[in-house]
Structure 1
Amino acid sequence: MDSLIFPELSLPYMSYPGLSLRACFFLGIVQKKVNERGYKSHEKRTRRTMKILYDHQTFAMQEYGGISRYFIELMNQFRINKEMGVSFELALHYSNNEYLPQYPSFKYHRLFPDCNCRGKGPFLNFVNKPYSRTALLKGNHDLVHPTYYDPYYLKYLRGKSFVITVHDMIHELYPQSFPKYDRTRAYKRLVIGRASAIIAVSQNTKEDVLTFYDVDPAKIEVIYHGSSFQIERVSFAQKDRQLDEKYLLFVGNRRQYKNFNFFITSVASILQNNPDLKVICAGGGAFSEDEQKLLERLSIQNQVVQVRTDDDGLKRLYSKAIAFIFPSLYEGFGIPVLEAFACRCPALLSNTGSLPEVGGDAALYFDPTDSESLRSAITDVLEDEKLRDKLIHAGLKQLGKFSWERTAWETKIVYEKSLP
């Protein structure tokens, strides 16, 4: 009899009165099948792809910038690493972001790309918001990861959790750098309080969040950025004649906390004593009228130039520079530091914010409020070829601690913990 061959199937039912051995065996078979299906169903649920909804915000505001770069790289890692089990939707219809074209899978339209008019960012945010709202209401996702701090989505979550990334605390630390009508601080306070989890891009940023907001430290996970530039020898085109000149490199926008005026005033005497030395400012827009007047007053207007460039051009600029200078008063992370390391460019960094955390022992540091400290660092790297080589090799080693793939894996873990 089958029940005697497989007694373990019959045994759970033997105590029931009135059941034959064959009946006990049959019930055991049924229970086994139910258990197997239940296990397979559980296994399927635990292995299923998790879908994340990203909204439009940062891609409406930024043509270039660290925040949009971060989200682009995060989504790209989920796209190419299927084993992560994360799919996503980007709720976006209009954008002039310059990183999006690198990934043809993103479908969107450019809107007034050549118009450098005031208010274009807020307008793009306004026309994109209905698309994000529609995606939220459809609910075809497991979790929401907004790309900035506008809390419009809170009323459309429908029971879904959301994760917020805090990129820096500039609005809290330097409120004078922003107009009075700017509501970023109020928005940030609201979403930090309601988020299921908070990602801070550095330990320094986490500590700043805890300084300004009453939030459980266990709710904040530190996840570093990576570098979008690979370690490689950069090729140079015939048009790069400007790169045959000696120059120091400044990258990105030049608004108040970026400390550009301090930097250019401090370096003026070095430029005046070295007529063949230049400063190239990559990105950040054309010099303002006030900046032009400052350069003229310092008599260095012919030695300081601004260029608009793409990623390939920026790689070449890093690779040929005597040094990359980052005089910022505060950074939440500082992606340009890793870009400089990847391009074998010595990095001279402000000793504040997260920059020592990111640069480690691979950079030369200075006080961003002390002109002599900055001039000393620049002079050292100009005159000491061995120091430059040492910084280059240390930078390549430090770069190995950061990658976008690691960012994505660690972010996935935060997502899983945040699911309702």
Structure 2
Amino acid sequence: MRVLFSPDVFVTQRFGGVSRYFAELHTELVKLGVDARLFSGLHDNAHLRGGRTLLGKLPLRPRLFLSGQAFRCYAAAQRAAHILHPTYYSAEAFGRGPHVCTFYDLIHHKYPGQFANDTTAERQRLWARRADRIIAISHATARDLVCMLGVPEKTISVIHLGVRVPRPRTQRQADDYVLYVGNRGGYKNWRIVVEALRDPQLRDLRLVCSGGGPATREEQALLESRRMAARVTFVAADDVALSRYYRGALGLVYPSLYEGFGLPPLEAMAEGVPVVAARAASIPEVVGDAALLFDPREVDDLVQALRRLLDASIREGLQKRGPERARMFSWESTARKTADVYRSLR
């Protein structure tokens, strides 16, 4: 059985949950003896070895086009029977052979106004019809596929993402900040964290934001109007630095209104970091009872959760349950279940 992964996401992402998923999936599939071939194209992705080629300095659209065309030629030249697994929702299929498509979320259908001039929703509709089998990364995403795109349940396999739980470290010394990881716009609901931290009982807490780039003018204006500018820091971090920020945080705060899975809470729990997360979409499915949940539309509810985070006994309980919960989500399990999907198409 040969599996070919398209280059799409490795060309468009330098860092990111989707490219991490496929890099980890490929690694574990090979360990299981699956002939999995990752066609990375003209990439600049941090999760792959080798970095970008000289042609990788081309602008994004030409790189994506050239990588896609090269992959189609590569796929067409295969003599052995093979399965095609696009890494994102390509504009068209890649030729002969069954196709497996992973659906991460349906955010473009749920909040279409936040994605102007974006064709992802249209391409998702194409793959909902075209794919021979669909992998949903959570039961929440599977329900959305059925309800919003009319995908038959029998064609969907729910396969959770994974995480690598590090060896236990010496007792970590938590700093006076909570960590926010990821983009901050729209449904990510970052502003509620700023509002919650204005509570008098939380005045000694700082907020460190990793990912999503530097503060926008609008974000900086919000911080200044709320007198929060001095308490909020924006940092860029690779995997090593991000792990350090996790370990130093009093906790992770994850206020998103919608996620297809949500890797940051799982990564935090794996590091033994307490998590305060939104009670929304797939997030409770991932964190279980190992996090403090709150209504992401209620500032007061987040305030109460963050106040609880200040209690050392509550943090201690979360630090214990977090790694236990994270061990339920392994990349080896992700790969094994994915290989079963491939085998069902032989």
CA apart distance, 1:110: 6.2
Aligned to 2:256: 328
1:145 maps to 2:93: no
Matches within 5 A, 1:396-407: 396-407=323-334
Structure 1 CA distance for aligned equivalents of residues 106 and 200 of structure 2: 33
SS at structure 1 position matched to 2:343: helix
Q: Any conservation in 2 of the 1:245–1:277 contact (CA below 8 Å)?
A: no
1:219 corresponds in structure 2 to 155
* Partner Cα distance (1:123, 1:192) in 2: 27
Displacement of 1:266? 2.5
Report the counterpart of residue 395 of structure 1 in structure 2: 322
Match for residue 162 of structure 1?
A: 99
Give me the whole-angstrom Cα distance separating, in 2, the residues matched to 1:375 and 1:402: 29
Does residue 51 (structure 1) correspond to residue 5 (structure 2)? The answer is no
How far apart are 1:336 and its partner, in Å?
A: 1.0
Q: Identify the range of structure 1 (284-293 vs 260-269) with the bigger mean alpha-carbon deviation.
A: 260-269
Match of 1:72 among 23, 48, 65: 23
Contact 1:323–1:381 under 8 Å retained in 2:
yes
- Return closer, same or farther for 1:257/1:110 CA change in 2, 3 Å cut-off: farther
- 3-state DSSP of counterpart to 1:76: helix
**Percent of residue pairs identical:** 35
Q: Could you say which residue in structure 2 is the equivalent of 1:135?
A: 74
Deviation at 1:286, TM superposition (A): 0.9
SS of 2:344's equivalent? helix
1:164 Cα shift?
0.3
Equivalent of residue 175 in structure 1, options 109, 112, 122: 112
Q: Do the aligned residues in 2 keep the contact of 1:61 with 1:122 (CA within 8 Å)? A: no
Q: Find out whether 1:418 has 2:329 as its counterpart.
A: no
**One-letter code aligned to 1:128:** S
How far apart, CA to CA, are the structure 1 residues paired with 2:158 and 2:54? Answer: 34
Is the 1:235–1:316 contact (alpha carbons within 8 Å) kept by the matching residues of 2?
A: no
Deviation at 1:136, TM superposition (A): 2.0
**How far off is 1:97 after superposition?**
1.2
Structure 2 partner of 1:239: none
Instruction: Indicate conservation of the 8 Å contact 1:92/1:131, yes or no.
Output: no
* Structure 1 residue 52: Cα displacement: 0.7
- For residue 362 of structure 1, give the secondary structure of its aligned residue in structure 2: coil
Alignment of 1:196-207 (within 5 A): 196-207=132-143
Change (3 A) 1:124 1:254: farther
Higher helix share: 1
**Paired residue type of 1:289:** R
Contact 2:42 2:56 in 1 (8 A): no
**Matched residues, number:** 345
RMSD: 2.1
Give yes or no for the alignment of 1:361 onto 2:289.
yes
Work out whether residues 270 and 375 of structure 1, in 8 Å CA contact, stay in contact via their aligned partners in 2: no
| SS of corresponding position for 2:233 | strand
Structure number with greater Rg is 1
Structure 1 distance, partners of 2:68, 2:174, is: 46
CA distance in 2, matches of 1:250, 1:111: 34
Q: In structure 1, give the amino acid aligned to 2:139.
A: Q
Gap change, CA 1:202 and 1:97, over 3 Å in 2: same
1:249 equivalent in structure 2: 179
**Separation in 1 of the partners of 2:171 and 2:41?**
35
Matches for 1:227-238 after TM superposition, within 5 Å: 227-233=163-169
Distance 1:249 1:74, change over 3 A: same
| Partner SS for 2:122 | helix
Instruction: Say if 2:144 is the partner of 1:208.
Output: yes
Q: Distance in 2 between matches of 1:94 and 1:380?
A: 47
User: Paired residue for 2:53?
Assistant: 109
Aligned partners of 1:281 and 1:306 also within 8 Å: yes
Q: TM-score, normalised by structure 2?
A: 0.94
Q: In the alignment, what sits opposite 2:13?
A: 62
**Which residue does 1:266 correspond to in 2?**
196
**What TM-score does the superposition give when structure 1 sets the normalisation length?**
0.78
Instruction: Supply the AA of the counterpart residue of 2:28.
Output: Q
Q: CA deviation at 1:157?
A: 1.4
Contact 1:91 1:131 survives alignment (8 Å): no
Q: For 2:229, what is the secondary structure of its paired residue? A: coil
Aligned 8 A contact 1:278 1:303 in 2:
yes
Q: Give the one of 210, 218, 237 matched to 1:290.
A: 218
- The answer to whether 1:315 aligns with 2:243 is yes
Distance apart, 1:413 and its partner CA = 0.3
TM-superposed deviation, 1:151: 3.1
> In structure 2, do the counterparts of structure 1 residues 308 and 418 end up closer, same or farther at CA, with 3 Å as the change threshold?
same
2:178 aligns to what SS in structure 1? Answer: strand
Q: Closer, same or farther in 2 for the Cα pair 1:112/1:285, shift >3 Å?
A: farther
Aligned equivalents of 1:192, 1:70: Cα separation in 2: 20
